[in-house]
Chains A and B, each alone.
Chain A
């Protein structure tokens, strides 16, 4: 670990100022950033501790949605009564992630910005365009079992590991931030994360020093909430494929469908075309297969991760069957 300056921000203004003055990085739960600093995958010169900022509240919004402070821990968010009642997909996604101990520390803001688990990203002696732009991608022809099959580039095929963000994307969440100049803005979550393209080192559309203050959920969508995570062991493993689904069936037809996917791409993945293909249709195996084909039309494996294509397909079909099961009868 390199030496770094540490300061704790007492309020938002101070957080912004410290980050700007010291070109500092925010640290919240530290469950990802600290690990990366120990290995010197990340080498910030200064840390601004934002964990004590007054951003720990979960509160209703005027339009019937929910505002989740950036410092709300994954454990608290998963256990929140409103979340469990109105946004069960989110609670389930959170509980499918990491371990109890990690969820006690991990924060809402930090979770969105956690970095990939690509093995080579963690191994500083290996080439990696994300860690060391221009050095190459060791995963492309290497061991890439956990890597992406959608939206990859020739520079990087890493995935975004978050479960929480997948559920939030299905919920049409947006991210509220405070800019270094004191202003604030709202970014739809679907525009928050980036595909690797030619700059895999840039993972979100945040500006340097821009602080996540909260995540806002619109009013709870109707329908059945499902989060299904497929992984290599029953707990404490990242998703090989995950699906967050909120599907409503009315009069025997799919009235609405929100589907987001983890483990497939460099960001939580959502494909409106898949949802549109479902809406207004009668649930059927054939329809689900069509949706899965649409989702995976451009999917490409890199060898070890080829199985994610049939796995993604089967998982989506199973989730859709479950989501529409009784309602269809």
Chain B
């Protein structure tokens, strides 16, 4: 038994593994959610629900009603005198907003207002209602500043932000010269608005002190860095802080960094002398956490007459607030999706005095592919090529930027499978040619791709004398199915019925994990659990004196040669612990790793009003091994629905006069409702990517969003001949180009 970390770096592709044998036959199966029954019966406590029944106080944030200012004074006396109020936390140490993912801490306000809605203080009171009312009594005097609220006005000041999720510039060959000479030239500019992740569960924290030790229950995605952010924000050593996020009601990137609630709850609890609960109101979630940058994207593509891309440029402007260098990696997929010798991909970051921008589900692809995949459609039409044929013509053999081989890439198969299932050949050939009553009918497609990432992650698996296993890792389940797939991996590896595997997540007292983000969670945490299980298998094999590869584990029995022994017997009353740590390795540098897919969509556009209804939406995806068909399909449904939102509805409106995020509630920030979503269809292609992870799987959660929106706007064009390049395609924009009803 190894007691050391059992660390494995992904330096080369794995061969066949125990998972491929599938002896127990549970991995990949559409098992119901591990925690499903708890959730539907209200027994899975979300952050705010902890310490139920205990003597706690409640905090409510005071936020700025101005976009940019110096704070002259914050007068808390009236609030402190209000009934039920225990204390008011204010001053320069209050955090501005969420922390950026991986950053050491959120920035403090330092006597300034950097954006409309910025937290200024926390009122702590005996009841939530008392705190919320007293928050309106805090009086702030400002020295108003000159705010910058519009990306368009800041283009001249935009800079190269330096490396982030990708290199800001990816240049190859002579783009300008070759484009200028190209037989066919395409040059269009697209815009996408700011988005809010708008997770169902608002950011919330409960903080409790025990001497110098702090326990925080919060709604977080990346516990390892979140606990550091809390410790730094509160000003205590990280060893003194325990962070728990056993259940998270969606994060979509907005919980990669802590929200303002976590540190304020801790400071409030210290001052009040009892545990404090802080839940953001829905308005706070929109105004004080983080958001996706609005973008301006120019796409230029030069091709031969036959449609071969010779020059490809995707130049982007995005924003963030002062001191935040994160930039939306708009063209992250453009780097490798299509061939073309001469390339120019750039990102320039402007500063505005608006809530900071950060990752929102599928950062980059979610908005970058709205334009790239629209451009590919526009160009195909101009070239008189079927959009699929045009894409096939430009399918690269190796990654076009750096000539790396693809670790796996079934994009062509996705097109083919999708086209035949969807009936692509039956689509209207010309725009505005198919009509059903008042509705124009059209179809569109788009490619999907999403870079794969593996992150360092550790796990422990314990095998108890009764032959049952317990998985421990500080991984989070943000509604994706982490609990379930880790149970399945363990059951498969150790030959146990899934019900014999307990999974413990979301606690910094457990082995450190990658957490959930960037679609890396399942394969990173899953690989660490795989390693921990292998560790156990080795020990079992040793005890039976066989080679691990000759040991078969099934239904709680070890089978070796002609022997069959219950696990409990091998353990002989002992508890075994396996450990595993996965690390990214050389395969990440020697291969280009990404998941792929294709979306096919049919829409109806109302000839009178310009309203669009999505009638059919099919996604075919290839993302390596699928760990649970049901939770994977659910991830894709979510992505498709987000795609509908980004195409047709979602827009966080910034008032250019004041920086106010205008539509900061769910009545006016529109996300799709059930009636907007047709019967969705998701198909997975069989694939193993042995360079991507030990599980031979790739990231999936964000793939299904990448490109969906463009399939929809391409379908709108096919239906009625209107091309919307300023997202979202609300009815007013469609109406403007509609032929007479």
- Interface check B662, CB cutoff 8 A: yes
Could you say which of B609, B668, B675 contacts A230, with CB atoms under 8 Å apart? B609
Tell me which residues across on chain B come within 8 A of A234, comparing CB atoms: 613, 673, 675-676
If A141-B657, A233-B672, A233-B675 touch, whether A315 touches B132 (CB-CB below 8 Å) is no
- Min CB gap A329→B, angstroms: 17
Q: Mark B725-740, 1 if CB is under 8 A from A, else 0.
A: 0000011100110000
Number of A residues whose C-beta is below 8 Å from B? 36
- Interface check A175, CB cutoff 8 A: no
Tell me which residues across on chain B come within 8 A of A181, comparing CB atoms: none
Tell me which residues across on chain B come within 8 A of A236, comparing CB atoms: 673, 675
Say which one of A22-30, A151-159, A306-314 lies at the interface with B. Answer: A306-314
Q: How far is the CA of A60 from the CA of B653 in the complex (A)?
A: 48
Q: Mark A157-189, 1 if CB is under 8 A from B, else 0.
A: 000000000000000000000000000000000
B735 touches A310 (CB 8 A): yes
Within 8 A of A (CB), among B119-152: 129, 132-133, 136
If A38-B132, A232-B649 touch, whether A311 touches B609 (CB-CB below 8 Å) is yes
| Nearest CB in chain B to that of A2: its residue | B133
- Min CB gap A231→B, angstroms: 8
- Interface check A45, CB cutoff 8 A: no
- Interface check A222, CB cutoff 8 A: no
- Interface check A79, CB cutoff 8 A: no
Q: Mark A34-45, 1 if CB is under 8 A from B, else 0.
A: 000011100000
B675 touches A315 (CB 8 A): no
- Interface check B547, CB cutoff 8 A: no
Could you say which of B662, B731, B736 contacts A240, with CB atoms under 8 Å apart? B731
Tell me which residues across on chain B come within 8 A of A120, comparing CB atoms: 662
B653 touches A311 (CB 8 A): no
B655 touches A142 (CB 8 A): yes
Tell me which residues across on chain B come within 8 A of A318, comparing CB atoms: 438, 608-609, 741
If A126-B660, A314-B609 touch, whether A235 touches B674 (CB-CB below 8 Å) is yes
B670 touches A237 (CB 8 A): yes
Within 8 A of B (CB), among A105-133: 117, 119-120, 122-126
A1 touches B662 (CB 8 A): no
A143 touches B741 (CB 8 A): no
- Interface check A3, CB cutoff 8 A: yes
| Nearest CB in chain A to that of B644: its residue | A233
- Min CB gap B115→A, angstroms: 13
B673 touches A307 (CB 8 A): no
- Min CB gap B718→A, angstroms: 20
Q: How far is the CA of A144 from the CA of B618 in the complex (A)?
A: 36
- Interface check B611, CB cutoff 8 A: yes
- Min CB gap A321→B, angstroms: 9
Residue with the highest number of chain B CB atoms closer than 10 Å, among A117, A119, A233 = A233
- Interface check A226, CB cutoff 8 A: no
- Interface check B576, CB cutoff 8 A: no
A232 touches B731 (CB 8 A): yes
Tell me which residues across on chain B come within 8 A of A240, comparing CB atoms: 731
- Min CB gap B475→A, angstroms: 35
Q: Mark B633-651, 1 if CB is under 8 A from A, else 0.
A: 0000000000000001100
Could you say which of B83, B132, B136, B653 contacts A143, with CB atoms under 8 Å apart? B653
Q: How far is the CA of A237 from the CA of B663 in the complex (A)?
A: 13
- Min CB gap A226→B, angstroms: 13
Within 8 A of A (CB), among B581-640: 608-611, 613
Q: How far is the CA of A231 from the CA of B609 in the complex (A)?
A: 9
Q: How far is the CA of A233 from the CA of B649 in the complex (A)?
A: 7
Q: How far is the CA of A122 from the CA of B662 in the complex (A)?
A: 10
- Interface check A278, CB cutoff 8 A: no
Q: How far is the CA of A100 from the CA of B398 in the complex (A)?
A: 53
Tell me which residues across on chain B come within 8 A of A126, comparing CB atoms: 65, 658, 660
- Interface check A317, CB cutoff 8 A: yes
- Min CB gap A284→B, angstroms: 15
- Min CB gap B604→A, angstroms: 11
Q: How far is the CA of A119 from the CA of B664 in the complex (A)?
A: 8
A143 touches B662 (CB 8 A): yes
A123 touches B660 (CB 8 A): yes
Q: How far is the CA of A146 from the CA of B668 in the complex (A)?
A: 10
If A311-B609, A318-B438 touch, whether A233 touches B662 (CB-CB below 8 Å) is no
Could you say which of B132, B675, B732 contacts A311, with CB atoms under 8 Å apart? B732
| Nearest CB in chain A to that of B733: its residue | A307
- Min CB gap A240→B, angstroms: 7
B735 touches A235 (CB 8 A): no
Tell me which residues across on chain A come within 8 A of B670, comparing CB atoms: 232-233, 237
Q: Mark A228-267, 1 if CB is under 8 A from B, else 0.
A: 0011111111001000000000000000000000000000
- Interface check B667, CB cutoff 8 A: yes
Q: How far is the CA of A142 from the CA of B655 in the complex (A)?
A: 7
A230 touches B731 (CB 8 A): yes
Within 8 A of B (CB), among A4-47: 38-40
Q: How far is the CA of A237 from the CA of B676 in the complex (A)?
A: 11
Q: How far is the CA of A41 from the CA of B45 in the complex (A)?
A: 32
- Interface check B66, CB cutoff 8 A: yes
Within 8 A of A (CB), among B443-501: none
- Interface check B341, CB cutoff 8 A: no
Within 8 A of A (CB), among B52-106: 65-66, 83
- Min CB gap A143→B, angstroms: 5
Tell me which residues across on chain B come within 8 A of A122, comparing CB atoms: 665
Q: How far is the CA of A318 from the CA of B609 in the complex (A)?
A: 9
A311 touches B133 (CB 8 A): no
Q: How far is the CA of A225 from the CA of B452 in the complex (A)?
A: 55
A142 touches B667 (CB 8 A): no
Within 8 A of A (CB), among B675-723: 675-676
B611 touches A230 (CB 8 A): yes
Q: 19 other contacts beyond A230-B731, A318-B608, with CB at 8 A cut-off?
A: A39-B283, A123-B660, A124-B136, A125-B65, A125-B660, A126-B658, A142-B662, A143-B655, A233-B673, A235-B673, A235-B676, A236-B673, A240-B731, A307-B735, A310-B735, A314-B609, A314-B735, A315-B608, A318-B741
**Would you list the 6 A-B pairs with minimal beta carbon distance, nearest first?**
A125-B65, A234-B675, A307-B732, A235-B675, A318-B608, A230-B609
Could you write out 9 A-B pairs with CB less than 8 Å apart? A1-B129, A1-B132, A125-B660, A145-B732, A232-B649, A233-B648, A233-B672, A233-B675, A314-B609
List A residues at the B interface (Cβ < 8 Å): 1-3, 38-40, 117, 119-120, 122-126, 138, 141-143, 145-146, 230-237, 240, 307, 310-311, 314-315, 317-318
